């Protein structure tokens, strides 16, 4: 049988790694082109096989580390490598911290901020991830349940995990057993888990509607593992989650924002770690504590920032997901905050506020998805809002939006990286802008 030629030619070459890229890959140069080498560290000489093309250069896989960097350490997790969840467990703690910090600095450098005011990274530690999206597939009698591999559809069947909270790790085996009763051969599913304060909230998404056996398996799982709620939604685009239907409701899953208890809808966005959320909320609330007047909270989710900020005065929360705004508003009414809060469902990409609308606010908070807040930043740049607090999970789109704000007359006063995604290429941050 003839083997298909690999696009990198399958060539074996020896390269020296110059830098660690944003996704955690070592980056080397070969014939004037970049080579991206997962699991290789700066300073290392490695023998690699070129496996394909990427970003005008090559993808490669390590065959042998010929000269290891002093910062190389043994990865603590047995799933490191095949599991796409963590990409840099092989780097020592100090170099890792510097890498996360430099990602924020370099993204800002590329947008013309020569010496950006970036503070030391706040760390959340291991075993703190309370929200996770897992995948499952049935293969014969077995179910593989875990994270996808790097750039792959293959699911790494995880038995242990250093980033998830202990209750989520403890759920893996019982969940796997339940999925064996739910999935047909080769059928896949997505499972979103949230460890709420009143127990675990589970959202299952499958292509096929649930039959009686599947419903009974889920009810049994909720009972035996004392889960708060299980919901099901059809697999598909994110919007499908809006159609989630409860399968087992033992008690409402609850999260406290400020002093307000909120019941998030199935699959809702909430900050991935409680410690990261606390750091973000304390930072943003501290910046806005002395602000007099109304504050706008854009991309408000279920009220992570809006409720704590409502302690100091009026807040207007704006969010695209109707289910999130409904949860926020229900909690606001229940806590007699309807006089101090207003809420609006709005698509901030297609229908951003005008500068005149923004001028009604003494401060604005924005916390967009990874694509950033381009349209909102452009409107803010033309507004008179004196203080802006930005929260971001993507330093590149943040740096783009920061450039827009600064070109519009703001000063970037401080940036705080918060490592909510240990051992991955992702980094969260909070930043303060003033006019």
Ligand X SMILES: C[S@@+](CC[C@H](N)C(=O)[O-])C[C@H]1O[C@@H](n2cnc3c(N)ncnc32)[C@H](O)[C@@H]1O
Of 219, 297, 215, the closest CA to residue 257 belongs to 297
Q: Based on the number of CB atoms within 10 Å of its own CB, is 314 exposed (0-12), middle (13-18) or buried (19 or more)?
A: middle
Cβ count within 10 A of residue 359: 12
Q: How far is the CB of 352 from ligand X (least distance, A)?
A: 9
* From 83, 161, 302, 393, the catalytic residue: 393
Does 301 bind ligand X (CB under 6 A)? Our answer is yes
* 187 known ligand binder: no
The secondary structure of 78-123 as a DSSP string is TTBTTBSS-S-TTB-HHHHHHHHHHHHHHHHHHTT-SS--B-PPEE
Out of 20, 65, 193, 348, name the contact with ligand X by CB under 6 A: 348
Does 189 bind ligand X (CB under 6 A)? Our answer is no
Out of 300, 364, 379, 429, name the contact with ligand X by CB under 6 A: 300
Q: How far is the CB of 302 from ligand X (least distance, A)?
A: 6
Out of 304, 397, 404, 420, name the contact with ligand X by CB under 6 A: 304
Please give the radius of gyration of the chain, using alpha carbons only, rounded to the nearest integer.
23
Q: Which is nearer to ligand X, 157 or 404 (CB)?
A: 404
86 with 80: CB under 8 angstroms? yes
How many chain residues bind ligand X (CB under 6 A)? Answer: 18
Out of 8, 84, 320, 422, name the contact with ligand X by CB under 6 A: 320
424 with 136: CB under 8 angstroms? no
Q: Which is nearer to ligand X, 269 or 423 (CB)?
A: 269
Q: Which is nearer to ligand X, 324 or 381 (CB)?
A: 324
**Which residues are bridge partners to 341 per DSSP?**
315
> CA dist 367 to 105, 149, 212, 231, 309, Å?
19, 28, 41, 27, 14
Does 319 bind ligand X (CB under 6 A)? Our answer is yes
> CA dist 217 to 193, 198, 224, 250, Å?
17, 22, 10, 15
Does 271 bind ligand X (CB under 6 A)? Our answer is yes
Record the tokens describing residue 63, joined without a space.
Answer: 């065959």
Q: Which is nearer to ligand X, 84 or 353 (CB)?
A: 353
* 367 known ligand binder: yes
Q: For residue 282, how many C-alpha atoms fall within 13 Å in the half-sphere facing its CB?
A: 9
Q: How far is the CB of 240 from ligand X (least distance, A)?
A: 14
393 in active site: yes
Out of 194, 222, 321, 331, name the contact with ligand X by CB under 6 A: 321
CA–CA separation, 75 vs 93, rounded Å?
11
CA–CA separation, 202 vs 206, rounded Å?
13
Binding mask 222-261 for ligand X (x = CB under 6 A): ----------------------------------------
Active centre residues (catalytic): 393
Residue ranges for the known binding site for S-adenosyl-L-methionine are 271, 299, 319, 367
Which parts of this chain interact with ligand X (CB under 6 A)? 269-271, 299-301, 304-305, 319-321, 324, 347-349, 367-369
Residue ranges for the known binding site are 271, 299, 319, 367
């Amino acid at each position: 049988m003839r083997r298909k030629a690999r696009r990198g030619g399958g060539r074996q070459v020896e390269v020296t790694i110059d830098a660690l890229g944003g996704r955690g890959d070592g980056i080397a140069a070969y014939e004037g082109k970049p080579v991206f080498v997962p699991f290789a560290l700066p300073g290392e000489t490695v023998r690699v096989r070129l496996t394909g093309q990427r970003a005008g250069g090559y993808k490669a896989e390590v065959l042998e580390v010929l000269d290891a960097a002093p910062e190389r350490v043994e990865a603590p997790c047995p799933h490191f490598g095949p599991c796409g969840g963590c990409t840099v467990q092989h780097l020592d703690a100090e170099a890792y911290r510097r890498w996360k910090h430099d990602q924020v600095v370099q993204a800002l450098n590329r947008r013309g901020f020569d010496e950006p005011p970036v503070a030391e990274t706040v760390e959340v530690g291991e075993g703190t991830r309370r929200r996770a999206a897992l995948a499952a597939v049935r293969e014969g009698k077995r179910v593989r349940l875990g994270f996808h591999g790097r750039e792959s559809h293959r699911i790494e069947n995880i038995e242990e995990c250093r980033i998830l909270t202990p209750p989520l790790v403890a759920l893996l085996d019982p969940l796997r057993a339940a999925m064996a009763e739910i999935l047909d051969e080769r059928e896949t599913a997505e499972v979103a888990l949230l460890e709420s304060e009143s127990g675990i909230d589970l959202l299952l998404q499958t292509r096929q509607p649930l039959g009686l056996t599947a419903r009974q398996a889920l009810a049994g799982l909720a009972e035996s593992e004392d889960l708060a709620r299980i919901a099901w939604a059809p697999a598909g685009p994110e919007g499908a989650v809006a159609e989630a239907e409860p399968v087992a409701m033992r008690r409402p899953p609850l999260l406290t924002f400020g002093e307000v208890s909120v019941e998030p809808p199935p699959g809702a966005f909430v900050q991935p770690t409680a410690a990261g959320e606390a750091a973000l909320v304390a930072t943003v609330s501290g910046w806005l504590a002395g602000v007099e007047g109304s504050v706008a909270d854009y991309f408000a989710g279920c009220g992570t920032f809006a409720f704590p900020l409502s302690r100091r005065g009026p807040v207007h929360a704006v969010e695209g997901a109707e289910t999130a705004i409904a949860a926020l508003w229900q909690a606001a009414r229940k806590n007699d905050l309807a006089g101090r809060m207003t809420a609006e469902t709005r698509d901030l990409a297609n229908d951003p506020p005008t500068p005149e609308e923004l001028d009604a606010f003494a401060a604005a908070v924005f916390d967009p998805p990874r694509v950033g807040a381009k349209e909102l930043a452009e409107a803010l740049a033309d507004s008179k809002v004196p203080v802006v607090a930005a929260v971001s999970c993507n330093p590149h789109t943040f740096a783009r939006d920061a450039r827009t704000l600064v070109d519009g007359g703001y000063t970037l006063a401080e940036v705080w990286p918060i490592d909510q995604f240990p051992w991955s290429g992702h980094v969260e941050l909070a930043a303060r802008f003033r006019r």
